Structure formats: structure tokens, C-alpha cells
Amino acid sequence: MAELKYMSGFGNEFTSEDPRCPGALPEGQNNPQVCSYGLYAEQLSGSAFTCPRSTNKRSWLYRILPSVHHKPFAPVFQENLTHNWDEVDPEPNQLRWLPFHIPHAVDKKMDFVEGLHTICGAGEPKSRNGIAVHIYICNTSMIDKSFYNSDGDFLIVPQQGKLLIITEFGKMLVEPNEICVIQQGMHFSVEVFGETRGYVLEVFGAHFELPDLGPIGANGLANPRDFLVPVAWYEDRQVPGGFTVISKFQGKLFAAEQDSSPFNVVAWHGNYMPYKYNLENFMVINAVAFDHADPSIFTVLTAKSTRPGVAIADFVIFPPRWGVANRTFRPPYYHRNCMSEFMGLIKGHYEAKEEGFLPGGASLHSIMTPHGPDADCFEKASKAELRPERVAENTMSFMFESSLSMAVTKWGLKTCNRLDKSYYKCWEPLKRHFNPNWKPSGK
């Protein structure tokens, strides 16, 4: 395996070539009449040609064979990957799932693509507006198989097991507490090292970007220099038995055969590439006086809608930090929101629900569905001595938040058999503390 190397920066223009072929990148133009080493030039566009320069995304790939070199696509069976939001009736209740089961390889081999299970979403890829939330559970590497998503971007959040992601741009090793983004149209393959599980946020019609900082100033949250992109790496490999390319197109899966590996890019340059980020590098902004700051201060990446300040999807984390707010109920407040909130737990214990919300599980609080700390958390936090304390130590939870009203799939509600039907009971012990004769202390 080639040594893994990275270049840093978010949204920048990069150049990269495999050191085995120095000079593979052309000088002075993108598409010379004859490329060095007999390569083909191919542009991958992630935006309309006429987008403003600040939002225009494209990369030039210099490859042994162009990606068009394959046999026709044909539909393939997809078990639990869907964008059909009308399989079951709407579900307005608070939902929580126990950790999703990973099959043993001796019982059923399942690679990353086969292990994609859609749990909820909204919109649809044909109109280029919407999102989907998937769980991946797998135990087998993709062998002579690649995948690309014509519908949108994948933000991948590993929870158990590391992923070696081979892309047209190079390799990325992504471990739990890291994330990666594979943008629309990029070929990739996933190698795993045992039973593996995680979460995927898919967005149609927008790319992820860093949130605006506003009054925070120039520094804070996720810093651009901490995002890493792969260095060019290629394989010139014939596959006599056939290499399978899977395309996700309009929510359906299709397969095409070709006789060589698609990971044959010798050099590339541009600003449209896969990238990864270590969540430990997030610089937390928090309240230091009183009250509980809105969770938007923990936004790592956002996919903006056409409405200013409103996201198709935000990726938000709740990392280890100090809690110092005075005169404040410090856990998350009781809340009804005009956004959908899907939460997952990578590791540790979430402060507002230490029982039941487990690593590898999830919860969904839909638009205007009330939620908040369980009864035990409320009682403890109401009586706690307010001194500086570490919050979420050795814990990492996250939220996919969306302005869209997400529907839950049949798999999420019924087939997966991981739905915690007793979730609502965590609020039943909440007590009445109302006293109409209450007077402030000292009066």
C-alpha cells in the first residue's frame, strides 16, 4: 500500500501528481493536445460552468483511461437504500434507535455499498433539493468494485472501525472521531478491517462549506487548515474478471463493467476533491456568563439553502469542553424547533440522556416535536453545584440538522428492529415543581 500523505486546506486550489510520474501535470494549460505519459485529460465539474468564481468547483484529472471507458449501466438490486419517503405514514413522535446490528461475515458478507441503509430523509435528487440519512453496516471490503454518487455529496461519520477510502484523487484513512466528505460524482472504494459501522449524511443540490463566523471573528470552530485532501496515487491494473462500477442515479443503483481499475489518475489539480477532518481539531466556542448557547455554535460544516441563514443541512458536534455558565441549567434546554434533528453518538455518554442513547445508535426529533433532557438529568442538573466542570469528556456526539421535514423509512421504523419503543418513558417521571406561593429567597 502506498504511503498515506495529505495536503491541508479547505476550498483551496491544489495540484498533485504521483511521484512515480514527475511532470504528469501539464504546464500553462489544462487540456494539451497530447498529455505527458500518454494520459487523458478529464474535467470533473462540481458546479455549473458559469457559477461565480468563489463558488465554482472543478478539478482536472490526468488518467490512464477516461471514466467513459465502460460497458452500459444496468439496474442492480438495492435492499435498504431508498429515497421513497412514502413507504409508511408520517411519524411525529420522538424516535430513538438502539445500536444498529452489524452482521457477522460468516453469516452474511456485506460491503460498504451493500451495507447502506436509509433511515430518513426529505426531498429528492431529480429536483436537486433534499437530504438523506443513511446508516452503513459492513464487514467486507469492496473488491474490484467502486461507487460514485450522481445525486449528491456523502458526509461519512465512522463510529466503529476505520475505513481506507480509495478515491480517484488518492487514498484517505478515516477513523472514528474523524469525518470525510466524498463529493458528487467521485469514484471511491472502501476497505474495512472487521465489523464496521457509521453514519452518512447525503445532500442533493448543495456542497458542504464552512459556516460564516460573524461576530466570532476570524478564528474558531473548524479551521480551514485542518481539512486534509489526498495526494495523487494511481494503479494501472487490468481486471480480467471485470471491475464493477456502481452508480447511484436518481436514487437507484446501477452497475457497469470495465476491464481495468478506475483509480488510474496519475495527477490532478483543482478545488473539487474529497477531504477529511479530525473532530478533535474543532475549536469550541461556548457561553462563559449565563444561559445555554444555541447548538449552532458547534457547526462544523453546512450545506446552505437559497434562504439566507437557513441550511439544507448542518453537521454539528458536541465535543469535550468546559461548562462554566452561572445561574444556568447547563444541559440542553427543553425545546421545539423548526428544524429536524437527527443525532448519533460516536463514543461516550451524551449528557442529556446517559441511558438508552448509545454509541452506534441514533435519535430523530422532527420539526416541532418537543424534546430535551430526561427526568433523571433534569433533577440532577437542577440541584448541581455550579462550578467549572468538564462536559462530554471522552464523548463525541453529533447532529445532522435540516430545515427539511424528514420522513422515516420502512426500514427505520419497522424492518431494522432497533427502534426503542420505550423512548417516551424517559420523560414520564418528570415532576410538577410549580408552587404559586413561591417567593424569591430572602423575601
The catalytic residue positions are 292, 335, 341, 365, 371
The CA-atom distances, in angstroms, between 16 and each of 269, 271, 289 are 6, 11, 47
266/263 Cα distance (integer angstroms): 9
Nearest CA to 80 among 42, 48, 118?
Answer: 118
User: What is the CA angle 82-262-270, rounded to 5?
Assistant: 90
Task: Please answer whether residues 78 and 86 qualify as being in contact, where contact means their C-beta atoms are separated by less than 8 angstroms.
Answer: no
Phi and psi at residue 381, to the nearest 5°: -70, -30
439/68 Cα distance (integer angstroms): 76
Q: Please, is 119 exposed, middle or buried when counting C-beta atoms within 10 Å of its C-beta (0-12, 13-18, 19+)?
A: buried
Do β-strands 311-318 and 321-323 pair in parallel, antiparallel, or remain unpaired? Answer: unpaired
Do β-strands 362-365 and 95-97 pair in parallel, antiparallel, or remain unpaired? Answer: antiparallel
Phi and psi at residue 60, to the nearest 5°: -100, 130
For 135-146, the DSSP string reads EEEE-S---SEE
